Structure 1
Amino acid sequence: MSLAGTRVLVSAGPTYEDLDPVRFIGNRSSGKMGFAIAAAAARRGADAVLVAGPVHLKTPDGVRRIDVRSAAQMHATVLGALPADVYIGAAAVADFTPRNVAPAKIKKQPGHDTLTLELVRTPDILADVATHLRRPRLVVGFAAETDDVAHNARGKLDSKRVDAIAANRVGVAGSGFESDDNALTIYWRGGEIALGPAPKTTIADALMDFIEERLAS
């Protein structure tokens, strides 16, 4: 098996940032792409570890899964799962979380038509993995963009100090969040390659081909 003896760490799905015991801030990530990547790694013989946000998906065969809810929990779990040979950050992690979580359900107040929430930045998982003392040999981030995909992806490649960014355009029919299909462009310093459109399982195998080539170089 081509990845035997290799530890591949994958994060997948959304994070939920609680407002009160009833409500949360979340996003539309289904986790399907990250789960397909973890499954592809396991099929190739890797020790595949999957850190999953709140999703309704079956754990792939041969994959060790750790469930989390919030960005802070995902950050702690991913860093705690190091060392690894490869980290693939496919999760759609919330950039902001409420400063304070209300202990009881937030009620509508008579005479008030608006509600102001104070949000603070969440820990940057991808950047922290890329600069960690136990940094994986290969760190691959994901970028879900609605416009200027190439510009934003290459900016993230540099700012996060990662080895590659897999970028996809979201908000279009038949690709990205909640879909079984996807189309990615992988950017690295000195090159890029387009994958798909195709089923996410096919995209995952193509991504693992890229990762194997990079590990061997």
Structure 2
Amino acid sequence: MKKKGRQLKILITAGPTREYLDPVRFISNASSGTIGYLLAEQAAKRRHKIVLLSGPTCLRRPAKVKCVTFESARQLKAEVDRYFNWADCVIAAAAVGDFRPNNISRQKLKKNRNNLTLKLVKNPDILKALGEKNRGKNKALVGFALETNSLYRNARLKLKSKYLDFIVATKLSSKQLPFGDRPINGAIISRSCIDKFRRMSKTRLARIILDRVENLCYIL
């Protein structure tokens, strides 16, 4: 058990990954990195020690936070492995691409053909690997899930299969996109309960997540 109120070492991942097809084109996603940056900012205000692993984003780096950048999923995995033993808690808020091109062209791909077929290979499941590594080590592990359907079912499956302490689940809807600083709908799901939230600001959500992380770390 860690003494209540003591400084925690928190590893946070944020933002999207980029998987390059050629020197200028890549496969990515719409993650802005906002929730990860807010978590780092709010945790620093609580005087915790933070390492923020950030994908490509336009956000300003939070004060008093060590920031390490990455682009690809494999680069992120290397940094997560590097800092895992250091951390009391890992909050995995990055939106990691599931696949990457099998080959990266050294030259810019030309449009002098009617069709282009890409062979994709699976990226490492970083969060699952962390969960398996963490079994018996008493580190708090938090994940995120963005789903288009079966939100609670899919989030529970991810919670269980990746050995998470809790997961923050949000549903993707064309009526209310969850990217950037928009308020979001969703739920915080643990093995024992589901706490739903509606139109919550990401700043408030970050504070609630950190409250839970602190409670977990001080009893582990």
What number of residue pairs does the alignment pair up? 214
Task: Summarize the alignment of residues 62-141 of structure 1 with structure 2, pairs less than 5 Å apart.
Answer: 62-83=64-85, 84-110=87-113, 113-132=114-133, 135=137, 137-141=139-143
What whole-Å deviation, never above 9, does each CA across 1:24-68 have from its counterpart, x for those lacking one?
000000000110111111111111110000001111122111011
Q: Which amino acid aligns with 1:98?
A: P
Q: Which has the higher contact order (CA 8 A, sep 6+)?
A: 2
Q: How big is the shift at 1:196?
A: 4.1
Q: 1:165 aligns with which of 164, 167, 186?
A: 167
* Structure-2 residue corresponding to 1:24: 26
Q: 1:42 aligns with which of 17, 21, 44?
A: 44
List alignment gaps of at least 5 residues for structure 2.
none
Deviates more, 1:94-103 or 1:175-184: 175-184
Q: Which amino acid aligns with 2:126?
A: I
C-alpha RMSD over aligned residues: 1.7
Q: Which amino acid aligns with 2:123?
A: T
Per the normalisation by structure 2, the TM-score is 0.91
Task: Write out the 4+ residue segments of structure 1 that deviate beyond 6 Å after TM superposition.
Answer: none
Percent identical among aligned pairs is 38
Structure 1 residues 63 and 152: alpha-carbon distance in aligned structure 2, compared to 1, 3 A threshold: same
The answer on whether the counterparts of 1:16 and 1:26 sit within 8 Å (CA) in structure 2 is yes
Deviates more, 1:168-177 or 1:53-62: 168-177
Structure 1 residues 114 and 196: alpha-carbon distance in aligned structure 2, compared to 1, 3 A threshold: same
Alpha-carbon distance in 2 for matches of 1:126, 1:50:
16
Deviates more, 1:135-144 or 1:19-28: 135-144
Per the normalisation by structure 1, the TM-score is 0.92
Alpha-carbon distance in 2 for matches of 1:37, 1:183:
17
Q: Which amino acid aligns with 1:114?
A: N
Alpha-carbon distance in 2 for matches of 1:55, 1:78:
18
